[in-house]
């Protein structure tokens, strides 16, 4: 962090500050992500959920929080943070890590808003519903489905994997029931039928998955 410069009410950060694990795949896009996060308090999540993408989002969330603390901004005067989503999903464990940070910040008093730009499928769905105020583009779509996994080997190992996958599904159920009007019966139908539940913007509004179509 020794090369970063800090200006009151505006945050400037050197690319080297956010670690070698986030070397740019596309320099232009990475520059957009960086400027949006540190100058506009907007985090772009437009990739698969994996270690790099989730921890990049976590980094930016905690970097904004840290700068607010340094600037001694009262909690009720802190500008909301927005996460813009366009993702088909990915690794649920990294998704849970990101959601845990979002919930911690919300418990502290932050408004963490989410906006579905195009699609928020699978893990993207879980991220989208956790926002303080959740918006979706008029032609946006969300998709909810049960967790999947695969394992080969000894019977005991496979049984343990099945049990753990069930536990992870229940964790997702808890998140969905906490933030939406989707019922346990509807989620059980997804599990038994093995369906991908696609929701238009209008349907997501009726289900309490989003708060506003924009």
Q: Yes or no: say if 88 and 48 are a contact pair by the CB < 8 Å rule.
A: yes
Q: Is 84 helix (H, G, I), strand (E, B) or coil?
A: strand
**Which residues have CB under 8 Å from 197's CB, separation 6+?**
143, 144, 145, 190
pTM for this predicted structure:
0.79
For residue 76, the Cα-to-chain-centroid distance in whole angstroms is 23
Q: How far apart are CA 87 and CA 4, in angstroms?
A: 31
Q: Tens digit of pLDDT for each residue in 119-128?
A: 999 999 999 9
- Report pLDDT digits (tens) over 45-75: 999 999 999 999 999 999 999 999 999 999 9
- Three-class secondary structure of residue 97 per DSSP: helix
CA 139 to chain centre: 20
Q: What CA–CA distance (Å, rounded) separates 201 from 194?
A: 22
pLDDT value, residue 44 = 93
Read off the pLDDT of residues 124-174 as tens digits, 9 standing for 90 and up: 999 999 999 999 999 999 999 876 554 555 656 655 665 656 777 788 999
Q: Rounded distance, CA 23 to CA 9, Å?
A: 27
Cβ(40)–Cβ(78) below 8 Å: no
């Amino acid at each position: 962090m020794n090369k970063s410069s800090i200006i009151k009410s505006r945050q400037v950060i050197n690319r080297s500050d956010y670690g070698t694990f986030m070397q740019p795949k596309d320099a232009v896009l990475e520059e957009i992500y960086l400027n949006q996060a540190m100058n506009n308090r907007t985090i772009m999540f437009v990739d698969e959920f994996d270690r790099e993408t989730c921890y990049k989002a976590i980094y930016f969330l905690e970097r904004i929080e840290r700068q607010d603390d340094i600037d001694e901004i009262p909690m009720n005067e802190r500008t909301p943070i927005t996460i813009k989503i366009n993702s088909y999903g990915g690794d649920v464990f990294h998704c849970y890590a990101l959601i845990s940070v979002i919930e911690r910040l919300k418990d502290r008093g932050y408004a963490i808003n989410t906006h579905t730009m195009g699609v928020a499928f699978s893990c993207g769905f879980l991220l989208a519903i956790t926002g303080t105020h959740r918006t979706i583009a008029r032609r946006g779509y969300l998709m909810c489905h049960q967790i999947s996994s695969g394992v080969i080997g000894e019977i005991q190992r496979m049984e343990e994997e099945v049990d753990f996958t069930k536990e992870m599904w229940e964790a997702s159920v808890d998140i969905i029931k906490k933030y939406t009007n989707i019922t346990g019966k509807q989620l059980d139908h997804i599990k038994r039928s093995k369906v991908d539940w696609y929701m238009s913007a209008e349907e997501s509004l009726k289900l309490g998955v989003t708060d506003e179509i924009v």
